[in-house]
Amino acid sequence: MNWTVPDKELEKLGARASKLKGVTGATVAFGELTLDVQADRIISVLTELRDGGQFEFQQLIDLCGADYPTRPKRFDIVYHLLSMTKNRRIRVKVQTDEATPIASAIPVYPVALWFEREAFDMYGVAFDGHPDLRRILTDYGFEGYPLRKDFPMTGHVEVRYDDEQKRVVYEPVKAVEYRHWDFLSPWEGADYAKPGEGYPYVIPGDEKAAKPKDAK
């Protein structure tokens, strides 16, 4: 099934969605439509996108977060919706800060229960009305929110099993270890041999592996 929708159709859809109360902008980029919505109107907008005959976005495919630390409202909460009947997808975004909760989307899309717990666990964004807002991916007692841009790579604590106490214990990180960043990108193109030259065909990553014994 082809999910590609022409930009003109997306622009028309965005124009209709822009008339909904609480929608502050509609943008088409890279073949995708994004709606910006006021945080206090997110439930009414999601409801209309689900039930409105001109939209019919029956499914919430994903809910995730994004962190922009330099903004006063540093977090984007992003909803990805799918219309099975109209063969369309749409992205809905709201902004919030560390202290202001977003209304839970569970009354509109029950599957949001798990997604909102993930966003809470990774970013620390709270969802008002969520019946069970607990961490879901990190361990009990975890400190901080791993996907915030200011979260240290090594975290705040480390975990080990203590033979004397016969249990897992948490301790402050003793040493900071830095990752070795490999900036070699396969998308930058390969330096292939010219026709007739034979081996080697240099592909990004080959320099990390041993060459065949018969290579010259």
| Residue 198 pLDDT greater than 60, yes or no | no
| E strands, 14-141, in order | 23-29, 32-37, 59-67, 75-83, 88-96, 102-103, 127-128
CATH of domain 7-135: 3.30.460.80
Question: According to the model, what pLDDT value does residue 195 have?
Answer: 54
pLDDT of residue 1: 42
Q: How confident is the model at residue 167 (pLDDT cuts 50, 70, 90)?
A: confident
Q: How far apart are CA 54 and CA 147, in angstroms?
A: 36
Strands (E), 68-117: 75-83, 88-96, 102-103
Q: What is the mean pLDDT of the chain?
A: 84
Place of tokens 């994903």: 62
Rounded to an integer, the average pLDDT of 45-59 is: 94
The structure's pTM equals: 0.74
Ranges of beta strands (E only) in the chain are: 23-29, 32-37, 59-67, 75-83, 88-96, 102-103, 127-128, 157-162, 167-172
Separation of alpha carbons 116 and 125, rounded Å:
9
48 residue type, one letter: E
203 pLDDT more than 80: no
Which pLDDT score is estimated for 66? Answer: 94
Q: Give residue 7's pLDDT.
A: 79
Residue 130 has pLDDT above 50, yes or no: yes
Q: Lowest-confidence range among 39-48, 94-103, 146-155, 192-201?
A: 192-201
- Read off the amino acid at residue 89: R
**What does residue 121 show for φ and ψ, rounded to 5 degrees?**
-65, -45
pLDDT at site 151 = 81
Write out the two tokens for 11: 């622009």
- pLDDT at position 194, please? 55
Predicted pLDDT at 199: 53
Give the pLDDT confidence score for residue 158 in this predicted structure: 76
Count, in order, helices (H) and strands (E) of the chain.
3, 9
Give the domain ranges of the chain. 7-135
- Report pLDDT for 196: 55
